[in-house]
Every structure is written in C-alpha cells, then in structure tokens.
Amino acid sequence: MTAGMSRARRRVRVLGTLAVAASWSVLSVGAAQPAAADTQSKQWHLGAMQAEEMWKVTTGEGIKVAVVDTGVNPSTPSLQGQVLKGVDATGAPGDETDDYEGHGTTMAELIAGTGKGGGLKGLAPGAKIIPLRIALDEFEKEKPSITIQDSANAIRAAADSDARIISMSFGGRYYSPEELESIKYAQSKGKLLFAAVGNEGHKQNERGYPAAYPQVVGVASADRDGKVSFYSQHAGTVDLASPGSDVPSWCDNSFKSYCDGDGGTSAATAIASASAALVWSLHPDWTANQVLNVLFDTAARDWKDGERSEYLGQGLIRPSMNVLKGKGDPGAPDISPLTKEKTTGPAKSSEPSSSTSASPQPAKNGAEGEKAAAVKESNSSQNGNQLGLILGVVAAVAVLGGVAYAVVRRRKAA
C-alpha cells in the first residue's frame, strides 16, 4: 500500500453491514423502462440510470474502452461497427475477435452495444471497444502453454492504445508483480481502470486482483433496489457499486441467444466503465482522476459524505448527476482519488517483463511490501500482436510445469 493510501485509510471510516443499500430512486424518480423488446426490456439499469435522457446529451462518442476479457465478437448485431483492432495476449489459436466463452462480448455490448437486432444496449452506445483477449476459466486450463502474464501484457497493450478506459471483468486471488507494474504503467499513461471485485462474497470473500490493486477502481454489484448483491465480494476492495443483478448475457460462444441471470460484478464493471465514458465524452479535457472524482462525488449513498461502505464503496454510480445536472467536483487533475497521490511523471517502458510470478498478497488495504513467496516460471517464446500505434507490445508465452501451473492458474470471469 502506498503512503497516500495509508493516510486515506486513517481518514476514512469504513462502514459496516448497515450501510449496504442506497436506493436507485435517489438516481431517478419515476424513470421509465426503455421501450425495447426481448433482451433490452430486461436491462432494468437503463431505466434506473436515466439512459434515454443522458443519450440526448451524450452517448459516449469519442471515447474508446479497452475490454480485457475472453475476446470480443464484432459480428453480433449489437456490436457491428463498434469494435476496433485489438490484441490477443494468449498466444493460443485465434485472435482477439474469437470469444471462446461469450463473456467478453457481453461486456462489450453492455458498454457500447447499439442494441440492433434486439441485442444488449450499451450504456455508452457511442463509445468504441478495443478488445484484449486473455485466458480465463476453462480456456486457461485447456491451454497450459499460455503465459500467466497475459493479463499484464494485455493491460500494457491497452495502456499504449487510444483507449481512455480499461475495463477488466475478471479476477483471481493471486497478486502478480508484473500485473501491478502494468497497472501502474497504464495509470501513468492517463488511463482509468475498473475491475470486478468478484462473486464469492457469500463464500470465501477473498480479495481479488486486479480490483485489489490501489490504482484500480474495484466495482461491486448492486440490485434493482440499490442493495449490494448477496454474492458481491467485500474484502476491502470496493470503491463503487454498479448494476449487476438480473443483467442478461450471451449464453455461450455460439452467440445464438441471451440468457437470464446475474451479470454479477462483471456486468457491474462494464456498466461502470460505460458510465465513465459518458462523463468523459462530455468533458474530454478532464483527466482520469477528474472523471473518477466526479463519479465518487455524485454516487448515491445513504451515509455521510467522506465515509466509505465496505459493501458499496463510495456508493451507487450515477453518471446522470453530471450528464443531466452538471453536478460533481472534478478536483485536482493530477491527484488520484484512490491513492491521494500525484499521478504525473514519466511512464516506464511498455515492454513486458520476461519473468513471471504470482503470489498471495494482502489487497489494497494491506501493505504492498508484505508479499508471500513468488511462484516463478521462465518464458520460452513470444507471440507478437500489434494494436494500431502500439510499438513493440508482445504477448509472451510461458511453458509451465503441471504442478506450478496448478498453483498459478487462478483467473476467472467475475
């Protein structure tokens, strides 16, 4: 943990179990559900967040969002024309447009989907998506040659792209020095990073990475009533809450139908990223710090300003307060509202490290120096993959032994 973060923790009292709800009615009293058929009619958050009204002011045009996930299928009706060139960091067959699970495509649609063909409508349909494919869930298990650094390499690629926002709807319980360095690099490039806190709050409720890194906005899931979803993790990593319960998604990678169910903290992260895109589109000269300051300042909460809920962080995200009412204090352009430290300074090289390591580590409310022993493996090859103006970003491929791979295999869609 940084010194600034430590000082912030002393100043801010984390609220307990009583502060777990902040009604969506605070956001928009009497907001109508959007008139759409099938899947869109189930996107309750569009009405609760006053999406139709905000779209009269901005749709997120001019903002690119990097989606680090299972890949993004650009051929769904809702994403046609919305997806730009990206990077596949897995080294596996296929590329960033080959979504092996359907998860990344769902996240992209929740951010920037046009809703054509009755598909998911994104909260920021004027934004564009840059896909970065990494290995998650079963894909990671089936491809033992994939480097455990693919997420770090993908984040660096996103940092070197034109994306202003990096959306990461995945998580794992292991700290990675390389992943943290990529996060710091992205912050030094002026990016705003969001990550899911995880969906096992009713089970282990462990800290999850990358949401636990101090430079990343950890996003919790909330339901229609503004209450934290029962499964949303709350291990000291929550900074904001966003709609996640009862958000539909693609059923699988066949892209034939959508399924009902909880989008979880994954969907919440995508919707939070789209919220930032709306605000940033309206204020293109703002820094990432200022956009986040406004999102924090205008979040709905039923507790005292300056206090932080263990479950909902600063509260329920509501970009409409800025887009429609002009509210929110952007604050200092060069001070992070997360760490309270300056974010200016020369960026480090974008070249990914050749070493790999991962270890259990206390999250953003614990000291960064308290690291457990790292698990290290050497890289055996590299797979190049360019993204527009990215120079020299390479997806390394590590050869991992069976036992070591079982230890470090950790990430999953949130």
The one-letter code for the residue type at 62 is G
The one-letter code for the residue type at 118 is G
Which of 69, 88, 150, 223 is catalytic? The answer is 69
**DSSP strand pairing (308-309 vs 355-360):** unpaired
Exposure string over 177-197, b if 16+ CB within 10 A, otherwise e = bbbbbbbbbbbbbebbbbbbb
The tokens for 19 are 């502060």
**Does 162 qualify as catalytic in the annotation?**
no
Host H or E run for residue 412: strand 412-413
- Helix, strand or coil for residue 80? coil
**DSSP strand pairing (375-384 vs 394-398):** antiparallel
**Does 353 qualify as catalytic in the annotation?**
no
- Helix, strand or coil for residue 65? strand
- Taking each helix axis from N to C end, the angle separating 150-159 and 177-188, rounded to the nearest 10 degrees, works out to 10
Do residues 82 and 105 make contact, with C-beta atoms less than 8 angstroms apart?
A: no
Which of 78, 176, 245, 266 is catalytic? The answer is 266
Do residues 390 and 87 make contact, with C-beta atoms less than 8 angstroms apart?
A: yes
Exposure string over 362-400, b if 16+ CB within 10 A, otherwise e = bbbbeebeeeeebbebebeebbebebeebeebbbbbbeb
The tokens for 155 are 């984040």
Which of 28, 45, 88, 103 is catalytic? The answer is 103
Decide: residue 10, CB within 10 A, 0-12 exposed, 13-18 middle, 19+ buried: exposed
**Residue 389 and residue 381: Cα distance in Å, rounded?**
23
**Does 285 qualify as catalytic in the annotation?**
no
Side-chain half-sphere CA neighbours of 188 within 13 A: 14
Catalytic positions, please? 69, 103, 266
